[in-house]
Amino acid sequence: MKARLLLGLITLLQLSGKCQKPLEVIPIQYIDGLMFIELGLNDHAEPLFFMFDTGAGITVLDREVSKKVNLEITEEAKIGTAGKTIRSGISVSNQVHFGQQLVLDSIEIAILDLSHLSTYFKTQIDGIIGTDILFNFVTEANNDAGELRLYPFNTWKPGKSATAYNIIGLEAGHFGIPVEVVTKRNAKPVSMVVKIDTGADNALTFHNAAVTQYQLPESVAKRIKSKQGFGVDSTLTNNLSSKLYSATFNGKQWRRVPVVFEVDPTNRISERQADGLIGQALLLDFNTIYDLQQGLVYFENR
């Protein structure tokens, strides 16, 4: 019995990489499948509630919250969103605290109105953070444990069950992966590049250019519905939704996959290089490890 227990423990450590001690472990709170974490900001006494969004190229703080924490706005910048380009106040040289000891210095923060997110999720959303974490740490979103684990670059080693993918570089520091899509029964599989977006709660979204190139949604030949949405800004977009026959990635195949087709003219102004995005409805089927310094993302099937 002891030998079997020891073997099982060793196997678990090898598969998950748990033998490596993270710099910090942050509990994940899930709301509608999206990931939220508590972080500290500067010398503010209370933790703030942030969405972990891999599509967020800059850390964002809600405008009213920025007043409460006395954030100093020193400049303005244009921020690109899914809906449009908007002007934002920028605060520089901030400290973001992860747990008790881990701190990131010199963080720029964009100030935007996020009240529509708080209304939608029925809880106070203080901010959004993404690449400021990913560009500074090996970041493991361990959905089995409900933890975001941060490791130092160069010393972290993947577990044996994690499959590595070279990321496809996209605009504004975003990154994607190839997903095989079959639009309808007997159709030929098509490899599409999709941005990894933990800030999207749906399965797949295809951008305007891909909708035109692959004649979507006509080629799906399924019931088409209208779909309204919004992003980090409150601009409403009117798109279409349906279901694909299948999508395949990392040995997993999903059937009747919900998909959004972006057809709203507002989305066409975005200079997005991917065919679309993959959201949390599919990403939650994996534990995901981001090692952007090596240009790799690891996926471990759950």
CB 122 within 8 A of CB 116: no
Q: Which of 109-113, 117-121, 262-266 has the lowest mean pLDDT?
A: 262-266
- Total domains present in the chain: 2
For 117-128, the pLDDT digits (tens) are 999 999 999 999
- Are 183 and 269 within one domain? yes
- The enclosing domain of 125 has a CATH number of 2.40.70.10
The separation between CA 275 and the C-alpha centre of its own chain, rounded to angstroms, equals 16
- Are 262 and 195 within one domain? yes
Could you list the residue range(s) of the whole structural domain that residue 99 is in? 22-151
C-alpha–C-alpha distance, residues 236 and 240, integer Å: 13
User: For residue 16, is it within any domain?
Assistant: no
For 136-191, the pLDDT digits (tens) are 999 999 999 999 999 999 888 888 889 999 999 998 889 999 999 999 989 999 99
- Are 212 and 135 within one domain? no
